Every structure is written in C-alpha cells, then in structure tokens.
Amino acid sequence: MKAEIGYYLAGFADGEGSFNLSFRPRQDYKLPWKVSLCFNISQKDKVILALYKRYLGCGTLRGRPDGVWYYEVNNFNAIWDNVIPFFKRYGFLSAKKKRDFAKFCEIAEIIKKGEHIREDGIKKIIEIRREMNDGGKRKYSEKEILSKFQESSETIRQTLDIIDVKG
C-alpha cells in the first residue's frame, strides 16, 4: 500500500470514523452479554469507503436508503489483525481520536486475553468505555450490564448446586 493512501485514510477516519464497543444481550450465550468492538465510517461517497475495504482487507460496505454508505468492521479477528495494526501504523492527529483508539485497543487486549467473559473483565471494559466517545449515548447502562451479569452468575451457581446435589 502506498503510504499516502494510508495517511489519507487515517486522516479521513480521524474526522469521520468511529471506534465503538457494544454490549448485546444474548440468550444463547453462557454469559448474558456479547461484547463487540466495531470500527465504522459513513459517507455519501462510496469510493472513499471502498478504499477502506480494499486497504484494510476486511469489513462490509452497504448503502442506506437515504444515499449514505456505511463501512464497518465488527469481526474481532479482522479488528485485531487488520484495523488495529493499520491505525497504529498511520495514527491520528486529534487528541480525541487518539484517546478513543487507545481505549479501543485496551478493550481489544482484554477480549484477546479472554477476560471479557469474567465479571472483573466486564467491569474493566465498562470503566474504559466510560472514557470513550465522550461518554456517548449508551443503550445499556453500566448498572444494567452488571446486574444481568450477576443474575447470570447466580443462575450458574444454582445450576452447579443442583448438579452437586444430584451428583
């Protein structure tokens, strides 16, 4: 890749891109939440977003009915192997994007180590999320996330108690 394109894409993402973390409730999971990282960017000009797909080698590009195009990467391996190394190499100029990206990388490290499946890992992630995207609008409050996690832990403990009794 020509370095100029890398710096161009990083600069464009500095102003228009977003690094996000989401908690999605899951009934089919051992845990009550699926923790997901996502890099996305939207724009009316599809050509620029197609460059991200080409140079990052991952993600999806789709159009919305209002004519805006949306590029996103939400597969953890693609984020770990492609997105993070790309932005570590080309960087950002704005303090806000540098901070959000650093927090995004911290959360990725927690997920990579498998700590996101434990309550203490979820607590760490929540603390880091608090400082991302200027607090942003959250679909699920910290209290709601932790209370569901504790409910799940209690259900697991009760199940293990039943198994011990039968065992």
pLDDT band at residue 159 under the 50/70/90 scheme: very low
**Closest-CA residue to 123 (of 23, 24, 39):** 23
Question: Could you give the angle at the alpha carbon of 58 between the alpha carbons of 83 and 70, nearest 5°?
Answer: 90
- Model confidence at 123, pLDDT cuts 50, 70, 90, reads confident
Sign of CA dihedral 114, 27, 58, 92: negative
What is the band of 162 on the pLDDT scale with cuts at 50, 70, 90? very low
**Are the C-beta atoms of residues 53 and 71 closer than 8 Å to each other?**
yes
- Please tell me the pTM assigned to this model: 0.82
Task: Evaluate if residue 92 carries a pLDDT over 90.
Answer: yes
Spell out the alpha helix ranges (H) of 30-166: 46-56, 76-78, 84-90, 95-112, 119-130, 142-166
Q: Which H or E run includes 41?
A: strand 33-43
Q: What is the pLDDT of residue 99?
A: 95
pLDDT band at 142 (very low <50, low <70, confident <90, very high): confident
Q: In the CATH hierarchy, which fold is given to the domain comprising 3-166?
A: Endonuclease I-creI (3.10.28)
Higher per-residue pLDDT: 160 or 74: 74
Q: If you average pLDDT over residues 9-34, what whole number do you get?
A: 85
Count the neighbouring beta carbons within 10 Å of the beta carbon of residue 95.
8
Which one has a higher pLDDT value, 157 or 134?
134
pLDDT (0 to 100) of residue 151 = 57
Q: What is the dihedral of CA 127, 130, 131, 136, to 10 degrees?
A: 160
Q: Which residues pair with 84 in a beta bridge?
A: none
pLDDT at 152: 53
In this predicted model, which residue has the larger pLDDT, 40 or 116? 40
Please provide residue 42's backbone torsions phi and psi, each rounded to the nearest 5 degrees.
-125, 150
